[in-house]
Each structure stands twice: as structure tokens, then as C-alpha cells.
Amino acid sequence: MGHWKYNDLPRDKRPEQGLLRIRKELQLFANLRPATMFSELIDSSSLKPNLVNNLDLMIIRELTGDIYFGEPRGIHKDNDGERFGINTMRYSESEIIRIAHVAFTVARKRSKKLCSIDKANVLETTELWREIMIEVASEYNDVELTHMYVDNAAMQLVREPKQFDVIVTGNIFGDILSDQASMLTGSIGMLPSASLDKNKKGMYEPSHGSAPDIAGLDKANPLATILSLAMMFRYTFNDEDKAKKIELAVKETLADGLRTQDILSKGTELVGCEAMGNAVVERLREI
């Protein structure tokens, strides 16, 4: 997926369409994307250390609605033969309600702060989003709900990221903001994700793509994939102990100074994908 050799295929034959179909047909509507700053990687972030030290942010992205799935869509010609493209941003009330409950539940288990990101001043779809978030908030009186326009949120993520704890937003805004948040932690190669259905069954994968340019070269960072396993134990198997052990093994491996190319810094040791993965396994055996 993402390889340039697929670029000229018809849209319905491209591998990205397969991924979207998996999400939709399995009803994996809740995408959880944590952005956690490991202290060992503080110098890998493009921001000043004081802005990202102890950063622990959770972005909850609605995954099966919005402009990625709305109809009508496509590239067409008008009566004069001029081509035009169309995509439809659409959310139903029930879709927003269910992701809102996920977000409030996660916020309740953390610092009880939830920021909903929209563009309600321009887009009616997200005006409805905001209205429903406010309605659902009445069931979670212990959680503080705030709102922010997506353009301001993008700025605030690099200006003062630690003001956020849990963010909830739609599919396209969540796609963009979660990738932006990845660079706060030093590399998108450090970001795991969980895509869950209503029963907390789901698909676990790194937030990054397949990196076809380095496929087979033993250069990829495996830590996001390993941290996705920790999320699986936490959210599907409800086994917090194993989740924490995996995360601790990753942290201790970083403390040993091992780095893949994307997180390499002065005074650390460059290793490949396989060596990094093996080092985490060895650390896990010792915990």
C-alpha cells in the first residue's frame, strides 16, 4: 500500500480502497491514536524540549464516516465538457453519538478533559457535530468539554501541545492532526493506533504507512507496531499489565541508546528494524 507502482491504477483497484473497505465493513469506527513523548527521544522532536516533555496526548478519530465515505463522489464532466471533482462530507447523528461516547469514556479514564475539533463556523456537517457533542456531554458531567476550530487546533498542537489531553474529531481532520501530532514525539514511526468496533474488537497497526521506499532494507522503525500490540492488550483484552510491560520494554530499549534512522540522534547507536525488534523482545523477557 502506498507504493508508486499502484498510482496509475483505477481508483477502485488501488490498495487504499481495500483498507477503507475493511474499516467500513468491520465497523471499526473508533480510531485511537496516542502521541506519547518518551523522555529518551526528547531531542528527536522538532519542538523545544519544554513543549513536549511528558507529552501524553490521545487523538480519537472517527474512522468510517465523513468525506472519505460520503456520496456522491467522483470526477465528472459538466455540459460544457469541463471536468469537476466532488466529494461529500456527511455525518449522521448516530455516527457522531457513538464516537462521542468513546471519547468521553476515554477522557473519563484520563484527566477528564475532552476537546472536540470541528469547523462549525463554516461547515454544517461539523455544526451538527458540535451540537451532538454538547448533547452527549450532559451524560458525562465529570468531563470538561471544550471546542476548537481545526485550523486553530493545528496551530495549537505546535504552539502548546500539552494543553490537550484527549481530542475527538472527524475522519479527515483526525487523519491530518494525528500525523501532525506524530512529529511532536520525534517520528511517525513511534505512533501506534487502535481501530475499534462497538465491542472493542479491532485492528491494531502503526499510524504510518507502508514506507515502500525502504521496504526490505531493514531500515523501518518497528516500535509503532510493537506499541500497537500494547494497545491490543489494553483495549481488546483488557490486560493493562501486559500493555505496560510492552511499553516499558520499548522505553528501556530506547534508554539503552538504540535507534533506527528516523529517531537517530547524537550519541546513540544506529540499528536496523530486526535488531531493534529483537532488543525489545530481550528486554521484555527480563521484565
The string of pLDDT tens digits covering residues 30-59 is 999 999 999 999 988 889 999 999 999 999
43 is an active site residue? no
Q: Which of the residues 66, 68, 118, 262 is marked catalytic?
A: 68
pLDDT at 5 over 70: no
Q: Which of the residues 165, 179, 197, 239 is marked catalytic?
A: 179
Top mean pLDDT of 42-56, 105-119, 206-220 is at 105-119
24 is an active site residue? no
Phi, psi angles (nearest 5°) of residue 22: -60, -45
Give the total residue count for the chain.
Answer: 287
- For the segment 270-280, the average pLDDT, to the nearest whole number, is 97
CATH 3.40.718.10 segments of the chain: 29-186
- Give the pLDDT band of residue 6 (cuts 50, 70, 90): low
262 is an active site residue? no
User: Homologous superfamily of 29-186 in CATH?
Assistant: Isopropylmalate Dehydrogenase (3.40.718.10)
Q: Which of the residues 66, 91, 118, 119 is marked catalytic?
A: 119
78 is an active site residue? no
pLDDT at 285 over 90: yes
Question: What is the rounded CA–CA span in Å between residue 211 and residue 217?
Answer: 11
Q: Which of the residues 66, 118, 140, 175 is marked catalytic?
A: 175
Average pLDDT over all residues of the chain: 93
Q: Which residues contact 152 (CB under 8 A, 6 or more apart)?
A: none
8 is an active site residue? no
pTM as predicted: 0.89
Q: Which of the residues 43, 56, 151, 213 is marked catalytic?
A: 151
pLDDT at 2 over 60: no
Burial class (CB in 10 A: 0-12, 13-18, 19+), 284: middle
